[in-house]
Structure 1
Amino acid sequence: MGIATRDSLRDWLRAPGSLSRRLARLGQRFEVQVLHQGVTPFRALERAALGLPPRGLTVVREVILRVDGEPLVWARSALHQRATTGPWRALKGLGTRPLAHLLYDDPHIHRSELQPRRLARQGHTRRHAERQWAEATGTAMSSQMLWSRHSVFSRGGAQLRVMELFAPELAGHRPGRLRR
């Protein structure tokens, strides 16, 4: 994937606010397909982004965001396990509702700057996403699906990292503006 693909996804990589709300405007039916939610060991990037110690457990939620049945985004959210009994306890009961329901309706939640990132083709995150994508959709993830963004949401002293990996099909759509 060259620079042209990053340029074609630039608006999505930088779009503020709720990705779910932007995606929902692209079609008739928006859905969140939960792939996994559970406790796992920390990953280095998540640990660094969340300012966590070298050891511990993370609660992870991995989903595919679909519009009219078409999978367009693979997303992973992670937070320290202790935060699910405190500021982020509502994450446990989220189910198939978008994470946006928790993040954008609470004035006490603050978001870091969006950080675009190209995933390594053979990196752990990419390989993990490929496996889940294939199992959930019955098709292989596009080799061009390498551009992601991440940010950290803070509430009550606890952080939640969200990473979103974009399908190249989004390049043909504009994210548009959201009303507050």
Structure 2
Amino acid sequence: MGIASREGLRDWLRAPGSLSRRLARLGQRFEVQVLSQRIAPLRRLERQALGLPRRGLTLVREVILKVDGKPLVWARSALHQSALAGPWRALKGLGHRPLADLLYHDRRVSRSVLQPRRLARHGHTRRQMQRQWQHAVGEPASPQMLWSRNSVFRRYGAELRVMELFVPEVAERRPVLVPRRRTRGRV
């Protein structure tokens, strides 16, 4: 990856706000392909990010975000199972809508600082992503698909961790800035 590509990827890793909205500006059609939504054991980094004990279960949602049919991001969100009965219960019915629909339309949701992180080439998360990518896309994930951004969203004290892993080609793409139309009563 060249210097310009690294700079472009750095911009994506640090961009505030909704990744879904930013991706949608790259083309005509944005879509969320749900790969899995299940109850699973907590992983070490998820436990640490959510401040949870060693034992317990989490709801995990894994998706691929696509623009004009091209897969650009593999994302994994996780929260403690107990939060499903409380502040994050709407996650169960999210379906193919982006997670951003829950996160950026509620002023009671706050977000931690974005933390870029390079995945281990042979770690559990990378192997999981590769299996799902191959099955969903029909071709292997790029070996250079290593950089993710991580953050924790909080609502009424319940936390949701989101990890977004980028294809290297996203570094070359820039969102098209569309002027926002002003509507009455909205900013």
List aligned pairs for 1:23-172, cutoff 5 A: 23-172=23-172
1:63 counterpart letter in structure 2: V
Q: Give the Å deviation of 1:151.
A: 0.1
Inter-partner Cα distance in structure 2 for 1:6 and 1:170: 10
How far 1:7 moved relative to its partner? Answer: 3.0
Partners of 2:16 and 2:128 in 1: CA distance? 26
Q: Deviations over 1:121-163 (max 9, x none)?
A: 1111111100000000001000110000000000011000000
Q: In structure 1, what is the Cα distance between the partners aligned to 2:128 and 2:175? A: 26
**TM-score, L = length of structure 2:** 0.92
Does structure 2 retain, via aligned residues, the 8 Å contact 1:6–1:147? Answer: no
Contact 1:11–1:175 under 8 Å retained in 2? no
Check whether the contact 1:154–1:160 (CA below 8 A) recurs between aligned residues: yes
Instruction: Give % identity.
Output: 73
1:41 and 1:23 mapped to 2: Cα distance? Answer: 30
What SS is found at the alignment partner of 2:131? helix
- Cα gap change, 1:112/1:159 in structure 2, threshold over 3 Å: closer, same or farther? same
Following superposition, the deviation at residue 96 of structure 1 comes to 0.1
Cα gap change, 1:56 to 1:3, in 2 (>3 Å): farther
Give the alignment's Cα RMSD to 1 decimal.
1.7
Gaps of 5+ in 1: none
Contact 2:26/2:176 (CA < 8 Å) preserved in 1? no
The aligned length equals 180
TM score, norm. by length of structure 1: 0.95
Larger radius of gyration, structure 1 or 2? 2
**Which runs of 5 or more residues in structure 2 are unaligned?**
181-186
1:75-133 residue CA offsets vs partner (Å, 9 max, x unmatched): 00000000011000000000000000000010000000000000011111111100000
- Between stretches 105-114 and 6-15, larger displacement belongs to 6-15
In the alignment, is the contact (CA less than 8 A) between 1:11 and 1:174 conserved in 2?
no
